[in-house]
Amino acid sequence: MLASHTSALYHRIDQIVPRSEGSSPAARAARALRQKWLEMEPAQLVEAALISALLIRPRFEAAFAVLEEAECVPGLEVSARSYTSLSKLALSQGKYQEVLWLLSRCRSKNIALSPTFLLNCMDAAACISDWGGVSRLFLELDGRTPSQDDLLYAELTGDPDVLAELRETTLKERTLYSRDQTLNGPPTMIQALDLALQANLEKGDTIGATEILQRMRSEHVVLLPERLIQILNAVRMGKIGLLKELEPQDVLRIILQDLDMKLISMQGLISTWGSTLGTVERALAAFITSSCLIFFAFSISGLLKTQGIDAGADFL
């Protein structure tokens, strides 16, 4: 490994690691890295610098220059975690195209893509409304070996009726995929499933959305309120089949979440008002408020359980 190459690399790293005596997380991360500066191999230093960049928050261009310089050093293998950290930094700075460029860079170098990196790419694709890209990346994140039909449906966008007809012509011929990869933790998969559902709804792919919904149910993934609203909008456009995948708890969850936000906004007012009351008056007010909220929650829950999904259909 030539000294001239490593010298240029250290110079690039020095530009993103500030010298600071402060107590902020960024300052502490920079000091910790500089203390180990001479003890690390160049590849380890690059990885540590790019991971620390998530706290230090340098400009993406400066951090990318570190990666570029590291790739030019003979014999230095840049780790997959370095690319993942850089993609997260780019995402946090709104550099969505740059995240997808990093994906292409990794593929050209045959670097194994982590679930976190693929999720960052899904997020970036969603931010630029590349719903076909989101669907395609989800297939990869989910550990599938996609068929030609899978890749075709991932990219298709258009009239929902046409998409449904195209999918139904080959649906019976499709074989169930086997997931031979284990994802790193539930949070990654929860967000990935939500992005995949959003992509299918945006593309108008009702069958694809239904498959994702069924998967979410089988894995007990909670449907986000904004996604439920998206589904209800699709139902208003005539996609009644999606309504069968909803449960009364979904509607209740949105109602209770909205109520919770209102309660949080009222908390300050209630605290101010309560401070003017005596001990007995405060206890009485708390009892009355709690009773009203419990009664309201049980009433809504009972209504949804007795009327079921049809109540939502009638409302629409």
Structure tokens given for 202: 């945006």
Structure tokens given for 215: 């998967």
All residue ranges of the chain with pLDDT < 70 are 1-5, 144-187, 250-251, 253-316
CA–CA separation, 231 and 235 (whole Å): 6
CA–CA separation, 259 and 251 (whole Å): 12
* Per-residue confidence (pLDDT) for residue 245, from 0 to 100: 76
* Per-residue confidence (pLDDT) for residue 294, from 0 to 100: 60
Tens-digit pLDDT profile for residues 212-249? 988 888 888 878 888 888 888 888 888 777 877 777 77
Is the entire prediction scored with pTM above 0.85? no
What's the CA dihedral at 80, 82, 88, 91 to 10 degrees? -100
- Amino acid identity at 258: D
Phi, psi of 192, deg, nearest 5: -65, -45
Burial of 13 from C-beta contacts in 10 A (0-12 / 13-18 / 19+): buried
* Per-residue confidence (pLDDT) for residue 258, from 0 to 100: 61
